[in-house]
Chain A
């Protein structure tokens, strides 16, 4: 009830404040346009890079120095530390990189995010950037009409930059006119109390608007408009750094232990850097003056000095904390221990990467493999076989002839307890993640969804087969027993071959060849086609009832085998062109 009243009231008050205050209207509109720009730019880079960013982040992080540099460069280019950290969380979850490397990237990304201040300080205020904003927005919109995903992405980047420039120009204009009516700088509190208050204000603004870049834009334009003192601006920059950590922590709350570890590392970095900067802020300010005069920044150019301060305190943070990354990792590993997951819960479907196509596909592929592994166990047990026998080098015929002992496997229970909710999660994740995807990515997503469906369908069909395997494999009629053992052999052979296909040492062509060979072999399996059953009935070796069961079960077995070949093609052949050659018919 309170929520129902409070929120609309606050909203109305906010609306009244904006309408009645012309300067505030311009400044807040500027912030809003800036944030829209950030959104478009981030989105544009996701489309424009087409996975390049992910590839760079994956491959250039094998040492801490490389991780730091990669994090710095990547964030400087895409201007979004949150995008970098989301990709890192997805890589950690998928086991592509170690926590040490990810932390290195996050530290580097912190430094990379300081380039925003330089861009705003250099171009945003020196040049009348609103002149450039308009053509950027126009060309951005035109490019968005293209069907080529790269042009679309470029369009979003241009649109984003245009809005960012426009936003800055509005903020600048707002603060400049505000100076004529009110002087906010007059209310500044001096000394450490003032610094602390401005740090808190900086953090709060960042938490509210969810962007440290936007906070820095406000701070820089306010400083340029003379609405805040230089020392207060420095404190606000420290606050923005802390605020961005809170945003990351909020995002990590719904994430797995990897996301939490990374957010905690980010917090440790920013908290230590923040505290040190708070204590030594006046000394640091003097140090910035020295560096500024050394690199040719005028003493009264407070805007560039603020950007320099932002970079220097993050750099000092990296120099001080980086040698302790291994200790931080050790500590985080003991604090955030992975929860013992219920086997029906997804292991890889990370909510924080759902909007990043490459990472979402990666997570879905891994989760489909997880569903496959779980189903595989149930299917093999339903055939009264064990994985260690099937996946060994033993002769399959020999394994089957000695494995007639019934293994108690309740397929319905396994499906309801372990597979159903996992499958539902895959379907849900597929639906939610497809929105930002291009056509090609949607095709991959659709095929992964279809692989999950085929896995479940196979589990349901093995249940039908299981009943008769248990009856006939242990019965007195040796002919029907032999036929059912043949069906088990087909299935076991298929699963063994797929186990070989999924090995890491094979390249895509090797995999495709083995899959095709398996497909050809399976086509020869079907008992119905080779008239064997007719012969058994004619010679009274099996009854008509047995024959009916055998015909049905043979069809089930063949369908399961073919479906498994299709599943293997989807999951283990990643190259779409190669996959296209191998794909044949739907079951």
Chain B
């Protein structure tokens, strides 16, 4: 192992490892995936729904989930 590699390893040890950051990124992608699933579920429910009030509430939730996907993607 050369010196720079060793320094990098020591640096990783004493600071937060990129591995940990990678785990965080993966988790975020999983959350976005779940939010997308939620989005399609709401869209299906809107199509099915006949009651006006319920439809409105679902539309609010759809707007919310879209906003959340946007926020999560920024991260």
A148 and B72 in contact, given A520-B67, A577-B24 (Cβ under 8 angstroms): no
Is A577's CB under 8 angstroms from B17's CB?
no
Partner of B14 from the list A147, A510, A520 (CB cut-off 8 Å) is: A147
Partner of A517 from the list B60, B72, B75 (CB cut-off 8 Å) is: B60
Is B71's CB under 8 angstroms from A146's CB?
no
CA distance A432 to B31 in the complex (A): 34
Is A145's CB under 8 angstroms from B14's CB?
yes
Interface of chain B, main secondary structure: helix
CA distance A148 to B20 in the complex (A): 10
Residues of B within 8 Å of A578, CB to CB, are 31
A577 and B65 in contact, given A145-B14, A509-B38 (Cβ under 8 angstroms): no
A581 and B64 in contact, given A146-B14, A147-B14, A510-B38 (Cβ under 8 angstroms): no
Instruction: Report the interface size class on chain B.
Output: 20 to 34
A516 and B17 in contact, given A521-B60, A577-B31, A581-B71 (Cβ under 8 angstroms): no
Instruction: Kindly supply a per-residue 1/0 record for chain B positions 20-46, scoring 1 wherever the CB is within 8 Å of any chain A CB and 0 otherwise.
Output: 100010011001001100100010000
Q: What's the minimum C-beta distance from B11 to chain A, rounded to whole angstroms?
A: 11
Interface of chain A, main secondary structure: helix
Is A520's CB under 8 angstroms from B38's CB?
no
Best-surrounded residue of A145, A510, A581 (most CB of chain B within 10 A): A581
Q: Number of contacting residues on A, CB 8 A? A: 21
Is B31's CB under 8 angstroms from A509's CB?
yes
- Cβ of A582 within 8 Å of any chain B Cβ, yes or no, is yes
Q: What's the minimum C-beta distance from A575 to chain B, rounded to whole angstroms?
A: 8
- Cβ of B15 within 8 Å of any chain A Cβ, yes or no, is yes
Residues of A within 8 Å of B63, CB to CB, are 517, 520
- Cβ of A386 within 8 Å of any chain B Cβ, yes or no, is no
Is A513's CB under 8 angstroms from B14's CB?
no
Residues of A within 8 Å of B13, CB to CB, are 146, 148, 151
- Cβ of A514 within 8 Å of any chain B Cβ, yes or no, is yes
Chain B residues at the A interface, C-beta cutoff of 8 Å: 13-17, 20, 24, 27-28, 31, 34-35, 38, 42, 57, 60-61, 63-65, 67-68, 71-72, 75
Known: A151-B13, A519-B64, A520-B63. 6 other contacts (CB 8 A): A148-B16, A513-B42, A517-B60, A517-B61, A581-B71, A581-B75
Chain A residues at the B interface, C-beta cutoff of 8 Å: 145-148, 151, 509-510, 512-517, 519-521, 577-578, 580-582
Q: Return 12 A-B CB contacts under 8 Å, by A number.
A: A146-B13, A147-B14, A148-B20, A513-B35, A513-B38, A513-B61, A513-B68, A516-B65, A516-B68, A520-B64, A577-B24, A582-B71
